[in-house]
Amino acid sequence: MTTTSDVKYTMNTETGQIASIIDAEKVRADDEYVMHTYGRLPVTFVRGSGVYVWDSDGKQYLDFLAGIAVNGVGHCHPRVVRAIQEQAETLIHTSNLYYTAPMTRLARKLSEISDFEKTFFCNSGAEANEAALKIARKHGKTKSESKFKIVTAKQSFHGRTLGSLTATGQPKYQSSFAPLLPGFDYVAYNDVEALKAAVSEDTCAVMLEPVLGESGVYPAHREFLEAARALCDAHGALLIFDEVQTGVGRTGKWWAYEHYGVVPDVMTLAKSLGSGLPIGACLARGAAATTLVPGDHGSTYGGNPLATAAALAVLETIEEEHLLANAHAMGAYFVHRLNEEPIKSKLSDVRALGLMVGVQLVQSDARRVQTEALARGLIINAIGDSTLRFLPPLIITKEHVDQAITILSEVL
Ligand code: PLP
């Protein structure tokens, strides 16, 4: 074991595993009562404001992960907090057997700022993708019993429920849970020829992330998404974009598809939509918008007044504070700073679309970098041995980027 410059953490430099001295008691209690499905870093966060969070010892951290692309407008944005407070005092839940105003308002707003006509609301990204998969299967079934095949990408990530896990093109997440859903094919991301070979008259949908997020920020090539659109049109299949991570301003536009000029039939959202309140959404246009009818699908909490009031406040904040332009500008500035010494020579690749940034380290020590950055008060995400992912709130300024760069320079 070696000790980092901050005595709070000890780390095994070979495995990258760390242990906390101060939080050992909390870690033990969590391990005893909470299912051990996450490899957590040993820090307990108790408060957040803007781009910062604080741990139980009062130590401040600059958050360049934003709850994995969730806290888009920052932690506890006053407008979102007010919307939640007011809605909580008014009406929290009634079920989808009745109409509620915040859901209607949010659905209308989403239509106004996108190319989609209708929205189905749920509570997470995986659930939004389940809705999209069900739209795809029903769409196919209305044409032919054999039109049920769904094409997705290798290295994609679409969630952990059985349907979204089947769509996720990563055997490491799937193998323990086989057999999964039948009828899925996987193609190498950005491989147009593989896509052409995989899509046929039996395909009911092609489902893609416009930027591979969980795998380390790999933006799609324009030709790949254009080919997907053309193939879906030619074969009567639906094009589904999973914008759970890329949506709601993350890439400097409301939706990543706008960068490519390729509009899907179905788009799924979650993460930043509620800036922390759990909400998922499946948006659709054309025939896909009316494929599901009463009885086909549902979710007890989906679109509840509390989550939809918060999401509406998030969208209004993004507009009023010009956060799309800010995400674009700060993404460019961050990439510019990463391409300067002393950091530049430690990286073999920098990939970005807006404030979705991934870097490849020359040395395979991503976990060490993540751990030592945390010890110095910067939250970032290590993916595998040599990739770092940054998903800061859309509200960051140049000063925050400079602060992160200073810490990264020390650590690298
Ligand atoms: N789709 C994408 C692109 C994601 O990045 C994620 C989560 O990381 C999901 C789906 C799953 O979302 P959730 O964890 O809200 O179910």
The DSSP letter of residue 341 is: T
Residue 15 has pLDDT above 60, yes or no: no
Q: Could you tell me if 137 and 35 lie in one domain?
A: no
Q: Could you tell me if 141 and 166 lie in one domain?
A: yes
Q: Of the candidates 298, 320, 342, which is a domain's last residue?
A: 320
Q: Could you tell me if 214 and 304 lie in one domain?
A: yes
**336-355: pLDDT as tens digits:** 999 999 999 999 999 999 99
What is the 176 CA–ligand 1 centroid distance (Å)? 19
- Report the candidate in 214, 87, 204, 93 with the shortest Cα–Cα distance to residue 149: 204
- Residue 113 sits in a domain whose CATH number is 3.40.640.10
The DSSP letter of residue 394 is: T
Q: Of the candidates 270, 298, 320, which is a domain's last residue?
A: 320
Which residue's alpha carbon is at the smallest distance from atom 8 of ligand 1?
214
Residue 205 has pLDDT above 90, yes or no: yes
Residue 18 has pLDDT above 80, yes or no: no
Residue 191 covered by a domain? yes
Q: What's the structural domain count of the chain? A: 2
Q: Say whether 157 is catalytic.
A: yes
**127-150: pLDDT as tens digits:** 999 999 999 999 999 999 999 999
Residue 119 covered by a domain? yes
Q: Say whether 177 is catalytic.
A: no
Name the pTM for this structure.
0.94
Give residue ranges with CB within 6 A of ligand 1.
Answer: 68, 124-126, 129, 157-159, 209, 213-214, 242, 244-245, 270
What is the 30 CA–ligand 1 centroid distance (Å)? 24
Tokens of 264: 């899907």
Is the omega angle on the peptide bond into residue 179 within 30 degrees of 0, that is, cis?
yes
pLDDT at residue 21 in the model: 43
pLDDT band of 4, cuts 50, 70, 90 = very low
281 strand-pairing partners: 121, 269
**20-34: pLDDT as tens digits:** 444 567 777 788 899
pLDDT band of 9, cuts 50, 70, 90 = low
- Report the candidate in 131, 107, 92, 96 with the shortest Cα–Cα distance to residue 277: 92
Query: Which amino acid is residue 120, in one-letter code?
Result: F
Q: Could you tell me if 55 and 193 lie in one domain?
A: no
pLDDT at residue 32 in the model: 87
